[in-house]
């Protein structure tokens, strides 16, 4: 069938400028690969070269007033996609121009960053990784996709899959933390959530695995600085989440901003061509990060815009996000023979294929009447609540201060984030969205309707250098106002039976362009915490933050600490549920918490490169303070206790290529039901390369009633036991001896040995 006719056959019609649905419609049949390819060729066959280059161009819809007017460009067939726009009416108006007025009538793909929810906001991705439950991330992104799709967005720039081992890097909040195994599980789950069972599934969107690759390893944790990653580390640590996304069928990739080993990621043919398409067989399309094609000039890589367009396309960037470099230069490059038309067409094909698969040729418009109904669905809030509850990590609970009694008469809720909807929803919410979260204060008030809940924010906190994304122009508190706020907070705490302190970072303190040198509580929060603790009242510290913070003083002096991260729309309810015992916390850290920023990068899976026999004095450390983690990777407490015992490896020896089963018994030894995340770590004792002291290779979150016992089973096969070797120059599995540990965090002590043999 001719694609043109399909476009007109769409069941939506334009009525007085508003798109309405004619009838409830059945999902169109899923086209086969051959059908998709045939339709792509049919469209391609009637496009001019200008239109082909147009498909490779993504226009900035908002944000940049000086950018070319989208409508004019679209009318000429000069754009394949639009970003930074979030307005259903405008989407439909622009789409109408594309499908009715542009020469080949190719629909636009509207893309936007929907990172952890569209209207219903979920915990930030770092928090969702703390659930150690991929189903949490999958369900969250299913809801995010449904709302985004109803809002007219068909493509999200997520999931963010950058391994982050340096908490100074602000974008650690957007990913799943430091570990490739956990990261890969979260990557696949998010792709499934966003895209559904197949590309084009109703109520789903196209996902984008970003930022390929190595962005999280920026020198010194400074955003946008170069990364230097030897191939062993790239392949063993930074690639696995991306490869997992490809296996899960992710439709698109985004090339990163920075130089990777002196070659910009957006001009990096090794990454985008050799590995992504060659080795992994990725069939979708690659979009650059915003302005990254033009930036090849700034990076001292391309001579000028023309050279940048050539080098990005040649490397494998199909779509130029916002920089217009392809639009300005590709036609000239074809004209003078530097590029062939076939090079352009090779980039256009996967873009058209995604549009075909998403059903855009049949249904280019968004039904504007559906949105209100979709975002009001009560199950969305329920999912957000569950995700928040499962994401929180109990770091400390001395003398079982938690859970608190619901019979408390007077509770003081103190801290600059305690009633902040922005901080509760967290970093990177959708463009144009107004935060509307349940705050800590609101959550506690709802939980204890009869109690006296008094709230005092204390001194404000803010970045020393404002965020480039800052919207507020509110003047900062004067030193006098801050002093008065401090006094009032202490006085409020003095009156209470229990004090809940909500401290951490504001939403703009983590995320893009939000790196910091210190990991301390910013502003005067620590001073306030110490002053309140000195009152001798029971104090619970609730952390709202997008990166791990070095809370060394609190870890010794504050009896209860809950890492709530940035928990989203239902955050305050989830926090109150945990503080008052309706929910037993079971999250675990997806990152090591360092004692100070200067200890970063700090992660558990490091190599031991100097013998500990040489004594304490010659171990890896600084002389001005321990470098051991404040809290290790995988750590988290519960209101109950667990024992993990009876570790068994099915056979003492296993053949290369064969799987071996590992089991352990977990018992709830306390008096309430609870969750334990059982974690398996391995270490290859010798080989062609030295291997990390421990690597996570299995985990399972299980729920046990008091006294209940379960056997948890893991399988170690070539995927878990092999690695990419520097010596061999390829991925290998060696016949060597292994340690295996199973336990409740990366310090697990329950140990067994086994060997792999030829």
Of the pair 58, 569, the CB lying nearest ligand NOJ is at: 58
Which is closer to ligand NOJ, CB of 153 or CB of 442? 153
Distance in Å, CB of 166 to ligand NOJ, minimum: 17
Q: How many residues interact with ligand NOJ (rule CB under 6 A)?
A: 6
**Nearest-approach distance from CB 289 to ligand NOJ, in angstroms:** 5
Q: Specify the residue, 129 or 647, whose C-beta has the smaller distance to ligand NOJ.
A: 129
The one among 166, 320, 425, 512 contacting ligand NOJ by CB under 6 A: 512
Sign of CA dihedral 604, 606, 607, 613: negative
Check residue 290 for interaction with ligand NOJ (CB under 6 A): yes
Known catalytic residue: 289?
yes
Structure tokens at 8: 């007109």
d(CA 690, CA 609) in angstroms, rounded, equals: 9
Site string (404-443) toward ligand NOJ, x via CB under 6 A: ----------------------------------------
The SS3 of residue 454 is strand
Query: Applying CB under 6 A, does 210 fall inside the site for ligand NOJ?
Result: yes
291 or 724, CB closer to ligand NOJ? 291
Binds ligand NOJ by CB under 6 A, chosen from 122, 157, 285, 301:
157
CB of 481 closer than 8 Å to CB of 467: no
Query: Does 88 contact ligand NOJ by CB under 6 A?
Result: no
In 3D space, the residue among 249, 110, 230 whose CA is nearest the CA of residue 187 turns out to be: 249
In the complex with ligand NOJ, the residue whose CB is nearer, 116 or 210, is: 210
Question: What CA–CA distance (Å, rounded) separates 681 from 674?
Answer: 23
**In the bound complex, what is the minimum distance in angstroms from residue 174's beta carbon to ligand NOJ?**
7
Q: What angle do CA 8, 10, 11 make, to 5 degrees?
A: 135
Position 118 contacts ligand NOJ (CB under 6 A)? no
Active-site pick, 289, 367, 577, 675? 289
Within 10 angstroms of residue 548's Cβ, the number of other Cβ atoms is: 26
Q: Which two tokens stand for residue 624?
A: 């001005």
Report d(CA 645, CA 666) in Å as an integer: 7
Q: Which residues contact 710 (CB under 8 A, 6 or more apart)?
A: 665, 666, 702, 704
Distance of closest approach, residue 265 Cβ to ligand NOJ, in angstroms? 11
Q: Name beta bridge partners: 480.
A: none
- The Cα 465–Cα 582 span in angstroms is 40
Maximum C-alpha span of the chain: 81
Pairwise CA distance, residues 680 & 669, whole Å: 20
Q: Shortest approach of ligand NOJ to residue 294 CB, angstroms?
A: 13
Does 238 contact ligand NOJ by CB under 6 A?
no
Nearer to ligand NOJ, 210 or 701 (CB): 210
Q: Which is nearer to ligand NOJ, 373 or 471 (CB)?
A: 471
Question: Two tokens at 394?
Answer: 């109990």
User: If DSSP codes are grouped into helix, strand and coil, which group holds residue 183?
Assistant: helix
CA distances from 612 to 39, 600, 621 (A): 64, 21, 12
* Torsion, CA 174, CA 180, CA 185, CA 186, rounded to 10: 0
What is the nearest approach in angstroms of ligand NOJ to the Cβ of residue 157?
A: 3
Q: What share of the chain is helix, strand, coil (3-state, %, to 5)?
A: 35, 20, 45
| Residue placing its CB nearer to ligand NOJ in the complex, 113 or 178 | 113
Q: CA 447 to CA 582: how far, in whole Å?
A: 10
How many angstroms separate the CA atoms of 248 and 251, rounded? 9
Least distance in angstroms from the C-beta of 747 to ligand NOJ:
34
Look at residue 685 and give its three-state secondary structure.
coil
Indicate the residue among 173 and 489 with the shorter CB distance to ligand NOJ: 173
Rounded to the nearest whole angstrom, what is the least distance from the CB of residue 210 to ligand NOJ in the complex? 6
Omega within 30 of 0 (cis) for the link into 636: no
Whole-angstrom CA distances from 492 to 355, 438, 496 are 58, 22, 7
Of residues 138 and 512, the one with the C-beta less far from ligand NOJ: 512
Q: Which residue is nearest to ligand NOJ (CB)?
A: 157
Give me the least distance between CB of 65 and ligand NOJ, in Å please. Answer: 17
Question: Which of these, 344, 364, 365, 316, lies nearest to 44 by C-alpha position?
Answer: 344
Task: Give 646-679 as a 3 state SS string.
Answer: EEEECCCEEECCCCEEEEEEEEECCCCCEEEEEE
What is the CB-side half-sphere exposure of residue 489 using CA atoms within 13 A?
31
Q: With binding defined as CB under 6 A, does residue 194 bind ligand NOJ?
A: no
Closest CB 512 distance from ligand NOJ, rounded Å: 5
* The one among 113, 383, 563, 566 contacting ligand NOJ by CB under 6 A: 113
The three-point CA angle 649-652-657 to 5° equals 90
Q: Which is nearer to ligand NOJ, 173 or 540 (CB)?
A: 173
What pairs with residue 677 in β-bridges?
Answer: 701
Q: Could you say whether residue 289 binds ligand NOJ (CB under 6 A)?
A: yes
For the bound state, the minimum distance from the C-beta of residue 35 to ligand NOJ, rounded and expressed in Å, comes to 31
The CA distance from 410 to 89, in Å, is: 49
Active site residues: 289
* Residues within the interface to ligand NOJ (CB under 6 A): 113, 157, 210, 289-290, 512
């Amino acid at each position: 069938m001719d694609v043109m006719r399909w476009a007109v056959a769409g069941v939506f019609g334009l009525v007085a400028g508003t798109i309405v649905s004619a009838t409830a419609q059945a999902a169109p049949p899923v086209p086969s690969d051959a059908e998709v390819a045939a339709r792509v060729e049919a469209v391609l066959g009637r496009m001019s070269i200008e239109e082909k280059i147009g498909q490779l161009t993504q226009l900035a819809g908002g944000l940049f007033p000086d950018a070319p007017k989208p409508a004019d460009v679209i009318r000429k067939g000069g754009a394949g996609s639009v970003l930074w726009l979030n307005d259903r009416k405008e989407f439909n108006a622009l789409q109408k121009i594309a499908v009715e007025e542009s020469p080949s009538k190719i629909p636009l793909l509207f893309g936007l960053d929907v990172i952890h929810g569209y209207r219903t906001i979920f915990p930030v991705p770092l928090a969702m990784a703390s659930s150690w439950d991929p189903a949490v991330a999958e369900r969250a992104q299913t809801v995010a996709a449904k709302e985004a799709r109803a809002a007219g967005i068909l493509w999200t720039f997520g999931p963010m899959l950058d391994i982050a081992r340096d908490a100074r890097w602000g974008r650690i909040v957007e990913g799943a933390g430091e570990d490739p195994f956990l990261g890969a599980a979260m990557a696949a789950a998010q792709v499934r959530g966003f895209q559904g069972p197949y590309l084009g599934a109703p109520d789903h969107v196209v996902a984008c695995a970003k930022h390929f690759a190595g962005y999280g390893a920026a020198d010194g944790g400074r955003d946008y600085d170069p990364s230097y990653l030897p191939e062993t580390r790239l392949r063993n640590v930074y690639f696995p989440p991306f490869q997992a996304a490809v296996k899960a069928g992710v439709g698109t990739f985004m090339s990163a901003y920075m130089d990777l080993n002196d070659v910009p990621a957006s001009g990096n043919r090794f990454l985008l061509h050799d590995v992504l398409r060659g080795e992994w067989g990725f069939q979708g399309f690659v979009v650059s990060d915003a302005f990254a094609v033009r930036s090849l000039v700034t990076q001292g890589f391309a001579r000028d815009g023309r050279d940048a367009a050539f080098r990005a396309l040649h490397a494998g960037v199909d779509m130029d996000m916002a920089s217009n470099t392809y639009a300005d230069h590709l036609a000239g490059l074809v004209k003078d023979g530097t590029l062939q038309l076939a090079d352009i067409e090779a980039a256009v094909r996967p873009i058209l294929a995604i549009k075909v698969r998403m059903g855009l040729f049949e249904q280019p418009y968004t039904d504007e009447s559906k949105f209100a109904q979709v975002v009001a669905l009560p199950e969305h809030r329920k999912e957000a609540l569950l995700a928040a509850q499962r994401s929180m990590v109990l770091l400390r609970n001395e003398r079982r201060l938690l859970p608190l009694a619901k019979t408390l008469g007077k509770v003081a809720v103190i801290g600059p984030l305690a009633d902040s909807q922005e901080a509760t929803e967290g970093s990177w919410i959708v463009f144009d969205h107004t935060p509307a979260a349940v705050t800590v204060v609101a959550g506690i008030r709802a939980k204890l309707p009869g109690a006296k809940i008094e709230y005092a924010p204390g001194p404000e906190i803010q970045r020393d250098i404002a965020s480039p994304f800052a919207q507020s122009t509110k003047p900062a508190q004067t030193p006098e106002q801050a002093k008065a706020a401090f006094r009032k907070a202490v006085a409020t705490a003095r009156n209470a039976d229990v004090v809940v302190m909500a401290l951490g970072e504001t939403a703009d303190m983590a995320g893009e362009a939000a790196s910091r040198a210190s990991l301390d509580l910013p502003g005067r929060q620590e001073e306030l915490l110490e002053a309140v603790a000195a009152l001798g009242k029971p104090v619970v510290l609730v952390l709202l933050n997008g990166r791990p913070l070095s809370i060394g003083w609190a870890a010794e002096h504050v009896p209860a600490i809950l890492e709530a991260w940035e928990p989203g729309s239902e955050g305050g309810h989830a926090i109150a549920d945990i503080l008052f015992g309706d929910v037993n916390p079971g999250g675990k850290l997806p990152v090591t918490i360092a004692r100070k920023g200067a200890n970063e990068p700090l992660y558990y899976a490091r190599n031991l490169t100097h013998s500990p026999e040489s004594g304490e004095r010659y171990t890896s450390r600084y002389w001005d303070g321990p470098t051991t983690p404040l809290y290790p990777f995988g750590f988290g407490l519960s209101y109950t206790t667990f024992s993990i015992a009876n570790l068994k490896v099915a056979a003492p020896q296993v053949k290369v290529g064969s799987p071996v089963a590992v089991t352990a018994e977990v018992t709830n030894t306390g008096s309430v039901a609870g969750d334990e995340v059982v974690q398996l770590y391995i270490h290859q004792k010798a080989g062609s390369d030295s291997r990390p002291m421990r690597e996570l290779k299995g985990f399972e979150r299980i729920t046990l009633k008091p006294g209940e016992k379960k056997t948890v089973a893991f399988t170690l096969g070539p995927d878990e036991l092999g690695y990419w070797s520097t010596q061999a120059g390829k991925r290998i599995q060696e016949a060597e001896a292994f340690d295996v540990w199973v336990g409740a965090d990366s310090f697990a002590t329950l140990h067994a040995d086994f060997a792999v043999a030829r």
